[in-house]
């Protein structure tokens, strides 16, 4: 179904995201990066599949563990400097981890208000429908947000207005430190109640996630919204500094690392079908390490934003429309 080039594209981005997450974690522990960081280590198949399934005209709104769409569209150098909080990038490091948008390449910002991504999902999709160019909006929502009323308002709007939106439920089993399965059964079934069909998929199976997203995107181009429920596992705490061993079943995340690593699973598939060789794996890993090392060197050396930039209100508040300054 997918060409070797496309399968390799997904693999390269998957390797990059894994190594990126690991590098961010290491730098936070060294004190090279400050702030809160919500990493998706072990969950990268979902964001990578979404980034690769979308066409350039499609919009993507991620969630707090998604970085692949930004890095794929604006480059590692641009986005990594933002996460470092440094001045050598688009928003001078003011957006930090995920309060960043690149509208010039159709990437919306993640919103920290629980469930509000869903509202952005339907709202932006309405605009795309009015534009009439068959672009779709892929929007990620987390399992922890599924008790927020705004999620269901967004579902209702998407159904009633027949919007070109794909909701991606990124379900790693935990809402901060609370087990999702203690709260509800299959959260995706709630979308069904609003007339939005849902499909469950193994979120650690790259090709399964990609196929599910391709199908959903094709439906969205016909103004038929749907939800793709991607089930994965969280390896780390809710954020760096949050110790999951304080609340998870003993050894759970360690066991997932050994038995259900999405990178190893996809790598094995590509080795088996001849897309990859062991030599290619080593070469791609080495190239990715060098790419990250070069970015890290530049980011560590770069200055933080100046006082003038930090206090510049135009970094937060929109400039009034021309002719409407009053």
Give me the pLDDT at residue 135, please: 98
What is the domain partition of the chain in residue ranges? 4-252+265-306
Q: What is the pTM of this model?
A: 0.93
Residue range 240-254: mean pLDDT, rounded: 86
Please say if the pLDDT value at position 323 is more than 60. no
Residue range 56-62: mean pLDDT, rounded: 97
Residue range 223-237: mean pLDDT, rounded: 94
Please say if the pLDDT value at position 284 is more than 90. yes
Read off the pLDDT of residues 89-124 as tens digits, 9 standing for 90 and up: 888 988 877 788 899 999 998 777 888 899 999 999
Q: How far apart are CA 61 and CA 69, in angstroms?
A: 9
Least reliable range by pLDDT among 20-24, 187-191, 317-321: 317-321
Give me the pLDDT at residue 105, please: 96
Closest CA to 99 of 131, 91, 182, 231: 91
Other Cβ atoms within 10 Å of 42 Cβ, number:
23
Structure-token pair, residue 164 = 């070109």
Write out the H or E segment, with its range, that includes residue 59: strand 59-61
Read off the pLDDT of residues 194-223 as tens digits, 9 standing for 90 and up: 999 999 999 999 999 999 999 999 999 999
Please say if the pLDDT value at position 46 is more than 60. yes
The fold of the 4-252+265-306 domain, in CATH, is Rossmann fold (3.40.50)
Please say if the pLDDT value at position 315 is more than 90. no
Residue 242, phi-psi category: left (phi > 0), alpha (psi -120 to 50), beta (remainder)? beta
CA distances from 11 to 127, 221, 265, 284 (A): 33, 26, 11, 9
Pick 277 or 315 by higher pLDDT.
277
Hunting for tokens 């981005």 — which residue is that?
Answer: 13
Least reliable range by pLDDT among 52-56, 125-129, 161-165, 307-311: 307-311
Q: With contact defined as beta carbons under 8 Å apart, do 97 and 36 qualify?
A: yes
Edge-to-edge order in the sheet of strand 59-61: 59-61, 137-142, 165-171, 226-231, 198-202
Please say if the pLDDT value at position 243 is more than 90. no
Band of pLDDT at residue 324, cut at 50, 70 and 90: low
Q: How far apart are CA 224 and CA 196, in angstroms?
A: 8
């Amino acid at each position: 179904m997918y060409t070797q080039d496309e399968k390799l594209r997904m693999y390269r981005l998957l390797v990059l995201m894994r190594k990126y997450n690991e590098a961010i974690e290491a730098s936070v522990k060294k004190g090279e990066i400050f702030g809160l960081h919500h990493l998706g280590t072990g969950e990268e198949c979902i964001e990578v599949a979404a980034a690769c399934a979308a066409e350039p005209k499609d919009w993507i709104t991620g969630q707090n563990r998604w970085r692949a769409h930004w890095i794929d569209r604006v480059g590692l150098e641009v986005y990594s400097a933002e996460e470092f909080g440094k001045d050598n990038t688009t928003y001078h490091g003011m957006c930090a981890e995920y309060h960043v948008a690149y509208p010039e390449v159709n990437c919306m910002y993640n919103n920290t208000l629980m469930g509000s991504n869903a509202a952005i999902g339907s709202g932006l999709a309405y605009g795309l429908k009015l534009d009439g160019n068959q672009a779709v909006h892929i929007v990620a929502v987390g399992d922890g947000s599924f008790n927020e009323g705004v999620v269901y308002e967004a579902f209702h709007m998407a159904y009633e207005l027949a919007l070109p939106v794909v909701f991606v439920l990124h379900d790693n089993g935990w809402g901060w430190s609370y087990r999702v399965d203690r709260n509800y059964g299959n959260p995706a079934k709630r979308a069904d109640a609003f007339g939005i069909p849902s499909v469950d998929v193994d979120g650690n199976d790259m090709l399964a996630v990609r196929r599910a997203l391709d199908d959903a995107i094709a439906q969205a181009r016909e103004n038929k919204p749907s939800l793709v429920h991607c089930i994965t596992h969280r390896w780390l705490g809710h954020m760096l500094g949050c110790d999951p061993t304080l609340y998870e079943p003993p050894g759970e995340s360690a066991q997932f690392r050994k038995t259900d690593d999405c990178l190893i699973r996809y790598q094995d598939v590509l080795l088996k079908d001849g897309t990859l060789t062991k030599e290619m794996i080593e070469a791609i890993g080495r190239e990715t390490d060098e790419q990250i090392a070069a970015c890290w060197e530049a980011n560590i050396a770069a200055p933080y934003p100046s006082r003038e930039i930090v206090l510049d209100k135009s970094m937060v508040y929109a400039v009034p429309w021309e002719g409407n300054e009053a």
